[in-house]
Amino acid sequence: MSDLLERLRGRGWRMTSQRRVVAEVLSGDHVHLTADEVHARAVERLPEISRATVYNTLGEMVSLGEIVELSTEGRAKRYDPNAHHPHQHLVCSGCGTIRDVHPTGDPLADLPAEQRFGFTVSDAEVTYRGLCPSCS
Amino acid sequence: MSDLLERLRGRGWRMTSQRRVVAEVLSGDHVHLTADEVHARAVERLPEISRATVYNTLGEMVSLGEIVELSTEGRAKRYDPNAHHPHQHLVCSGCGTIRDVHPTGDPLADLPAEQRFGFTVSDAEVTYRGLCPSCS
DNA sequence: TCTTGACTTGGACTTCGTCAATCGTAGGAT
DNA sequence: ATCCTACGATTGACGAAGTCCAAGTCAAGA
């Protein structure tokens, strides 16, 4: 929230009411909203905000590395504001709920050189799947 | 290919020319086609096959566990016939090429109980990202 | 061969996301 | 405090990926 706004302002961002609202909606832990959900919540505070602006703002925040974009099984991409603490995701196969998790170990270390096919591997993303307490 | 067709027939599937063609298109290693690519290749062999049938057939094969659906960063889901040998994926951030890889270790073991939030975790999917030789 | 229910078709429809022309405004300059 | 202007917001059309449905077709068992 405000620290995110501070960081954005510090990067020379023009601060508009729309951007403020989007940043406010995307705050807290275990927040993984789709663009349309962000738009719906933003509209509650700023009725005239447009879908395109939400998409633009989310895209800009992603390029700045301030939020993380995840494409889960479902259709719409989700946005995770918890970008400065690397983490993985645990997804419920029933209802789609997502939790941030911090596994031990480094998956990158598990990929031997002869399995890299000459790639420069920079990142490993782990998605755990299962049923949450209410779906099981 | 034919072993896939045999398995499907063994499960009581009605064998139609459309399903045969889709199964044939999806054969081999390191095959990761989108639904539209599958359709395009199927049309070469069976010009009247419809998009809806390709989607239906792919969806059925996925529920039967005969192929794996992967939703990469880009938009269209891709289908991987290599479903009976568990593996992970290495994706080029430049051109989108996908390779099947077999990391050592078990990512499920890296998720401690207190990080499971009461979920019944059944599966872990790892996506490695990097640049392939021609993109780096 | 006949029958029947499962499969296929084609097209309309939905959802997610992008684009471009136009309008509005944040914030520096005066 | 007001003015300017470039950057951001809006609107609505567009596009891609995927789903749905009513009607027609056909694989395979009797």
- Can A2-80 and A88-130 be said to share one CATH topology? no
**Which pLDDT band holds residue B74 (cuts at 50, 70, 90)?**
low
Closest partner residue to A126 (CB to CB) among B71, B101, B107 is B107
**Which pLDDT band holds residue B80 (cuts at 50, 70, 90)?**
very high
Q: Which residue of A has its CA nearest to B90?
A: A116
User: Is pLDDT of B2 > 70?
Assistant: no
Pairing relationship of beta strands B120-131 and A120-131 according to DSSP bridges = antiparallel
**Tens digits of pLDDT across chain A (136 residues):** 456 788 888 888 999 999 999 999 998 878 899 999 999 999 999 999 999 999 999 999 999 999 999 887 767 899 999 888 889 999 988 888 899 999 998 899 999 999 999 999 998 999 999 999 988 8
> pLDDT for A26-58, tens place per residue?
988 788 999 999 999 999 999 999 999 999 999
CB contact under 8 A, B110 and A115: no
Whole-angstrom Cα Rg for chain B: 17
How far is Cα B67 from Cα B38, in angstroms, rounded to an integer? 13
Cβ A71 vs Cβ A23: under 8 Å: no
- Taking each continuous run of H as one helix and of E as one strand, the counts in chain A are 4, 6
At A46, list the tokens. Answer: 């700023």
CB-based contacts of B55-63 (< 8 A; 24+ apart in sequence) = B57/B18, B57/B19, B57/B22, B58/B22, B61/B8, B61/B22, B61/B23, B61/B26
User: Up-side HSE of residue A112: CA atoms within 13 Å toward CB?
Assistant: 6
Nucleotide nearest to A16 (CA to C1'): C26
**Which pLDDT band holds residue B4 (cuts at 50, 70, 90)?**
confident
How far is Cα A120 from Cα B132, in angstroms, rounded to an integer? 7
Best A30, A115, A136 member to test B by mutation, with max B CBs in 10 Å, is A115
- Residue B110 has a pLDDT of 93
Which fold, A88-130? Dna Ligase; domain 1 (3.30.1490)
Which helix (H) or strand (E) covers residue A38, if one does?
Answer: helix A35-45
Which fold, A2-80? Arc Repressor Mutant, subunit A (1.10.10)
**DSSP 8-state code for residue B115:** G
List of residues 6+ apart from B18 with CB closer than 8 A: B42, B46, B49, B53, B57
Q: What is the largest CA-CA distance in chain B?
A: 54
**In chain B, where the domains are located:** 2-80, 88-130
User: Is pLDDT of B48 > 90?
Assistant: yes
The helix/strand/coil state of B90 is strand
Q: How far is the CA of B26 from the C1' of D25 (A)?
A: 25
Closest partner residue to A103 (CB to CB) among B71, B111, B127 is B111
